[in-house]
Amino acid sequence: MQSRKTIFLLMIIPLMGMVAFSQNFLNKQRGELSVAYLEPLRNADPLVKFTSEALGGFRGVIATALWMRINNLQLEGKFLEMVQLSEWITKLQPHTPTVWTDRAWNLAYNVSVKETDVEKRYKWVMAGISLLRDEAIQYNPHEPLLYWELAWQFKHKMGQDMDSAHRIYKRKWINEMTTNIWPSVKACVDSEGRPDWDSLLDPKTDEEKARVRRLIRDYKLNPRKMKAVDDQFGTVEVVNTKGEVVKDENGDPVTRQIGLEWRLPETQAIYWAYMGIQKSRENTARREMVKKLRRVIFQSMALSCGRGRLMVNPFTPNLERAYLRGVAMRYGPRLDFIPQVDKEYVVALEEARKNQYLHPGGIDTISTYRTAHHNFLRQATRDLYMYNRVEESQYWFKKLVNLYPDKVRWYIGYDTETKTMDWEVFVMSELEDDFKRSGRDTMNTLLMGLISTAYYYLAMGEDDQALGQIRMSQQFIAYYNERRKDSDTSSAGGRVDLDSWKNLHDQALKDVLVGMDKAKPEMAAALRERLGLKAGEVPQPGLPNLMNPYRTKESDRATDGDIPDS
């Protein structure tokens, strides 16, 4: 019996040696043949490496038991208790993508909303993002699902307004990017949010090198990749005032570089979706997921069209402090992205028609894209009008009517006999939705707000938006009073008379200058300079010629007939 045990022991030793010898070969084959999602662990955390080697096949058994416990906790709404168990599973199964995505979603969406303290809530959201960016992708660099989930959390959780604390998330993220991409808040403001690519790609000073190290180490942002993304998605086709693409002598579209807004989360979504496409290009088994990454890119660009530009007021007192508190800036649309995003929608629709595939939930993809494209054109028409880009607004409105007559026929102003739609009636009815529940005093206040904002934009050099605000206030009051004639003013819900536009304008301009003189004297001086006024001078009644949206560019003088007298 003793000799038999000795023989068995002697056989075990060479067998273990053979296993050790063949392990590297098997690992290599597993990576090449994609039996698992990816190649074996490299540079792994010691605990991950230990559990992988020591537990062997028992990892699956333990992970299954943990998954069952997590599912029960989720049904009970005990999300905090799930955090530790999820971490154990990621140690046991680091190559299983859903382990990471489930854990990241739980942190960013479930655990975060349990916090009433917005500072702690932001930390939980960032914990979910960091888990995907700093750990999951490092273990699974070619798995598109992880890039998609990371891009989605930037776009949806932080970029959109689904969370009540979304403004806090944006402000904190803007501050982080500002202090790491630029040497100071002032440098960021002076450059109008455009990174100095030369200093990021070839840092020379210690300060520049430290910033680049932080970007790579803390945010996994590679400046060279950032520049490639900026070049590819920040380059737009030039359009004329009618919204038509300008061509060169060879018939090719003329392009110009406007760049992305790297302070906003939707740009991070574009960056990580782009990285996922690059890394997953050879992962043919996950081709459908790569398509979803492309979708995230144009969805994020569509988001930028509506609110992808930060306009900082350089006249704000204590600018740096106000900037970091989020009170020195406004969000504005990036209207130059409209043709690019429209093109992406068209491509997506063509691809959907070709494949005729369905979403997992059974929702028709073509119908979903049509609705999204319709809403995009609707918003583009309104935004361009608000920026006084009238001919471009009309161009996209015509496209809206031609592509979606089935939807347009339900709008206010649609003529059922001629099957036509009036552009300005459409825009005004869209705006009226924001006013219709307001009383007379509130509506007058809102109109004065539009006029006041116009003069703030003028002082900041945002002339297009300034003129757009004036035009919108003028047209709305004329439109409103015209429609009032057809309503029953004696009824409880009848419409009310508004003050004349000229009276509202004169009072608003006076209030703006008084307020600026007290709080922002530099801005008041800049506005007076734009209006041709001397220091302390009070403007004459009436609309300054510079602010007449109907004034042609060839003429410096507008006639009284250009301005609605309402």
Give the type of residue at 470. I
Give the CA radius of gyration of the chain.
Answer: 30
Element (H, E) at 488: none
Tokens 């403004």 appear where?
A: 167
User: How large is the average pLDDT for residues 401-417?
Assistant: 81
pLDDT at 24: 63
Lowest mean pLDDT among 130-139, 336-345, 441-450, 483-492: 483-492
pLDDT beyond 60 at 72? yes
d(CA 24, CA 42): 12
pLDDT beyond 50 at 399? yes
Q: How far is CA 441 from CA 43, 101, 444, 448, 495, in A?
A: 66, 50, 5, 11, 12
d(CA 295, CA 373): 13
What residues contact 115, with CB distance under 8 A and at least 6 apart? 121, 124
Q: Which residue has the higher pLDDT, 53 or 5?
A: 5
Q: How far is CA 158 from CA 56, 131, 132, 161, 195, in A?
A: 39, 16, 15, 8, 22
Nearest alpha carbon to residue 149 among 98, 219, 114: 98
Q: Is 256 helix (H, G, I), strand (E, B) or coil?
A: strand
Q: Mean pLDDT: which of 351-355, 472-476, 484-488 is highest?
A: 472-476
Lowest mean pLDDT among 32-46, 400-414, 416-430, 499-513: 32-46
pLDDT at 204: 94
pLDDT at 434: 58
* Residues present in the chain in total: 566
| Other beta carbons within 10 Å of 250 | 5
d(CA 194, CA 178): 11
* Share of residues in the chain with pLDDT > 70 (%): 75
Q: Residue 226 — φ and ψ, nearest 5°?
A: -60, -45
pLDDT at 61: 61
Lowest mean pLDDT among 42-46, 85-89, 135-139, 388-392: 42-46
Q: Is 257 helix (H, G, I), strand (E, B) or coil?
A: strand
Nearest alpha carbon to residue 464 among 337, 336, 360, 340: 336
Residue 73: pLDDT band by 50, 70, 90 thresholds? low
By CB atoms closer than 10 A (0-12, 13-18, 19+), residue 314 is middle
Residue 37: pLDDT band by 50, 70, 90 thresholds? very low
Tokens 């990036």 appear where?
A: 334
pLDDT one-digit tens code per residue, 107-150:
899 888 888 888 888 999 999 999 999 999 998 999 999 999 99
Tokens 């994020």 appear where?
A: 300
Q: Mean pLDDT: which of 53-67, 402-416, 487-501, 523-537 is highest?
A: 523-537
pLDDT beyond 80 at 534? yes
Q: Residue 288 — φ and ψ, nearest 5°?
A: -65, -35
276, 187 contact by CB (below 8 A): no
Q: How far is CA 243 from CA 52, 303, 392, in A?
A: 59, 20, 4
d(CA 377, CA 412): 17
Tokens 């999204």 appear where?
A: 372
d(CA 312, CA 314): 6
pLDDT at 36: 44
Residue 164: pLDDT band by 50, 70, 90 thresholds? confident
235, 255 contact by CB (below 8 A): yes
Tokens 């490299």 appear where?
A: 42
**3-state per-residue secondary structure call for 169-226:** HHHHHHHHHHHHHCCCHHHHHHCCCCCCHHHHHCCCCHHHHHHHHHHHHHHCCCHHHH
pLDDT at 555: 44
Lowest mean pLDDT among 55-69, 163-177, 232-246, 283-297: 55-69
User: How large is the average pLDDT for residues 471-491?
Assistant: 67
Residue 471: pLDDT band by 50, 70, 90 thresholds? confident
151, 280 contact by CB (below 8 A): no
pLDDT at 382: 83
Nearest alpha carbon to residue 220 among 288, 284, 150: 150
By CB atoms closer than 10 A (0-12, 13-18, 19+), residue 359 is exposed
CA dihedral (503, 509, 513, 514) in degrees, to 10, reads 30
Q: How far is CA 541 from CA 497, 502, 503, 510, 550, in A?
A: 22, 8, 9, 10, 18
Q: Is 358 helix (H, G, I), strand (E, B) or coil?
A: strand
Structure tokens at 27: 């690992």
